[in-house]
Structure 1
Amino acid sequence: MMTWQKNHTTSLLIGILLIVLPVFYFVYAGVSWRPLNPHEHLVQNGIAYLFFLLFSYFNHTVFVPRWFLAKQYRRYAIVAISCVLAAAYLPYRIEQWVFFKPPLEKTPMGWFRQLFMEEMMLSRPFERGFHSHPGDHKPFFKPSDKQASSFPDGPPPMERSGFHHGGPFTLLLPVKLAILFLLGSVSTLLSVSVQTSNRLRKVENDQLQAELQQLKAQIHPHFLFNTLNSIYALAIRHDERTADTIVKLSEFMRYMIRDAHRDTVPLETEIKYIANYIDLQKARLQDAVQIDYRLTGEMDHWQIAPLLLFSFIENAFKYGVSPEEDSLITIHLDIQNNELRLYVLNNKVQISQFEKSTGVGLQNARERLRLLYPAAHTLIIDDALTHFSVNLTLSLS
């Protein structure tokens, strides 16, 4: 999810670049036919460009998630408006403080006039004779006689900097506000979309985990009671396999209790306990069933969901064994490269109504495959009149 979030943030920044750069070019091309100093306002616009990026980024990653989506609209509005005003005002002021002198009247009105009157004059070029002949030039802002006598070396700093002529890189205040509004809207919509998608993903993931836990809890341990009965019978006969059967049963139960809650386990561990389970069934059933179990391939470092294969094998012993009928169970397990193939075959026998009503193993396995390996498995089940087979192909990578 974190990677997905970073990808969307990167997409946002690329979108900002694509939006802002053409605007810079448009403003430059629109006024560059009358340049005074081609690098005069490069600093201001570079700072403004940085402010645009920062505003959009923090609006996307901080302001919207923390305040807008939390329904703290007043706080979000205050922060957003403050950032917009700062992005529109500070680049100009930074350039003035660093490269130019302060206004002649060092009062709030003087600072206000130097900022906003300059922007008004840039936005009304025809009133100040922008396209007129030099002799017809009538500036929009004319200093008083007192002010004119105060600067014999030339016009005030605002005039000396060429602001009245609109330097080739100067961004007009309406353009700045329009860009900020556009970027704010885009970043807000994208942030809302990302946060909504994240919440949906979290809900889906929580539902998935809850469903998986429920499915794991449904693994029917009926074989435990049958195996305990078999061990009891072996103990009565003083069979030498009694101790070994108890050890294997304890190991298998430890595996179910300790590892079944994990997301994945080593494939080697899963197959080891499948072999233990088959040995337990051999000890329990003795000559009542013929078991053909074959394992081929290398298990290497592969991981698998715990008890996933076990459900199919348990189903074969649960519904394919009867004391009154000949029973045959075939289990072939093959691992080649990153692909696992499981083939399980059992003939159909008569089972009790109780066994029919409590069987959830296959449905459990289907659901877990659907949730854990949605596009990485193929399951073919053949429910014929005389036999039942499962053919599973699973991608382990």
Structure 2
Amino acid sequence: MRIGFDAKRLFQNATGLGNYSRTLVANLHKYHPEHDIHLYAPKLVKNERTLPFFNKEYKPFSPSGIAKLGWRSMGVVKALKNDGIELYHGLSHELPIGIKNSGLKTVVTIHDLLYKYFPEDFPLFDRLIYDNKFRFACEHSDKIIAISNATKQDIMEHYKVPEDKIQVIYQTVSPEFSREISDFDAEEVIRKYALPSEYILNVGSIIRRKNLEIVIVAMAMMQPKDRMPLVIVGTGGTYATIIDQLVEKHKLKDWIIRITGPKLEELNILYRKSHFSVYPSLMEGFGLPVLESIMTQTPVITTRRSSLIEAGGDIAHYINGENAEELSVKMMELTYKAKQIGDPKNIKKHLDRFDAKKLTEQLNDLYLANA
């Protein structure tokens, strides 16, 4: 089948939607090389993450000059028809407006509706744009992929989409997180980031919804002898400033290490060398850092919220996302335990739900059924 993908995020986003797009497309090619894959993006960014997709097997395409203006919403449809695309997959919440009367078969992935629940994390103009784009995509796609059951329920509630139009296909984890690390590589990363021998890890954007402040407050409740340093991997704006002020208020500056933009292989090492990770998000479309923790054999504390229970299964440790004292007790409990994640059989059973080949087969079946 000749399949077209909206590849803007694939080429332009380093994390999040970019990782989802790159992993999905790479897995489809790996397990179903019979498909003819075309990648459409307003800009083709070449870096270590995107380099494999410049291969002729993926057929990347970007317009030039003035044609770029509005191309992703309208002009791309002409390119799809010229290339004989049989099915188009919008990988990040939207479909081009021109798809409406084109006759092309379409699939769209909806990751989350977080802007409806945490408006403070999104400017008003962005929320209005998202609502229009998401609603259009849900109405005009032939099939919707939700990356979790929690997201599926939100789509049904907010956009009144019939349940049989939505299929849950979980997000897969980059194969990098399955790779065992060498002592040499680990020492290189520890030296590069000046890491202590033991630390706690937090991975994610520094925004209100990710709830990093509860970790800072929980650490402040602990005696210095009971604490481990906290390594924060992520960036943020206004909320990051609030976190900095909170760290200053509780005199925890010497306990915090900030890292931005690590390579995937470095992130794998950061997980594996941490004593445990903490991800107290108040809501997620999926919650990839929870699954990354489990895949790297790292104990993880998260919240009993939305899709995080799906990502963490029976393996993660759960807290109330608004109870710093509960988090403090759980952090201290794991601090004094040897690093252990649980029964290997249970872990394998949980990770099998997110097996790349199984999820790609679900995706391929959906394509074939809707082409």
Shared fold (TM-score, shorter chain, > 0.5) = no
Shorter-chain TM range is: under 0.3
Q: TM-score, normalised by structure 2?
A: 0.18
Q: Structure 1 length as normaliser, TM-score?
A: 0.17
In proportion to residue count, which structure has more helix? 1
Structure 1 or 2, whichever has the larger Rg, is: 1
